[in-house]
A = this chain, B = another copy of it.
Amino acid sequence: MTEHLMPDGRRPANHGPRAAARNRAALVAAAREIYAEHGLDAPLSAIARRAGVGQGVLYRHFPDRAAVATAVLEENVRQVEQAAAADGATFADVLGVLTWHLTESAAFIGLLHADAAGGSPGILAYARALSGRVEGALRDCLPDGHRLNAAQDLMIAVSMVAGAVTGPTREERERRALAAWRLLGVGAGPVRPLDG
């Protein structure tokens, strides 16, 4: 019975469950890069290639296109949550982390626009859930009496800033994001990833 062979005749590496986790992480990282470069419509094959794995592995870890995007966003969202959970985190600090992800990731921006036309029901549900977690994290730090306190104002403001974030370079996008917060009369802290 013949087995699948590498081009040079060796069998492909199979490092067991340990490698599975590594592959998953590589896929998410690759997806993040590819999304940043080519947008959310980039071919899945490009993600698998960038991750250095076969396409089958991608499907093993993620049932569909939406799951890949979700996994990428999951980490962005978690960083925002962690920023909010940090001791002494101010609203501005959290906004800074949020803004960093907005400027970094086209996918993350898309997340906040998921209600727009085009998304499949599955994607929408995921997106809403993640979006809700972002809102929750922000609301936890929102000082009483803040002008974004009212019902949906918080998420609308985030959507607005996300809408302003366009431009070819991260620097340009950051400039616009900050201008947007300024127009909203809301101060954002240093724009940076959580661990930066």
Tell me which of B2, B156, B168 contacts A180 (CB under 8 A).
B156
Tell me which of B118, B153, B179, B183 contacts A39 (CB under 8 A).
B118
Query: In whole angstroms, what is the CA distance A113 to B159 when docked?
Result: 13
Query: In whole angstroms, what is the CA distance A179 to B184 when docked?
Result: 12
Count of chain A residues near B, Cβ 8 A:
40
Q: Which residues of A contact B (CB under 8 A)?
A: 2, 4, 16-18, 36-39, 41, 106, 109, 112-118, 147-148, 152-153, 156-157, 159-164, 166-168, 176, 179-180, 183-185
> Nearest B residue to A184 by beta-carbon distance?
B183
> Nearest B residue to A5 by beta-carbon distance?
B17
- Which B residues touch A179, using CB under 8 A? 152-153, 156
- Which B residues touch A118, using CB under 8 A? 38-39, 41
Between A113, A153, A168, the greatest number of chain B beta carbons within 10 A of the residue's beta carbon is seen for A113
Query: In whole angstroms, what is the CA distance A156 to B153 when docked?
Result: 18
A106 to chain B, nearest CB (A): 5
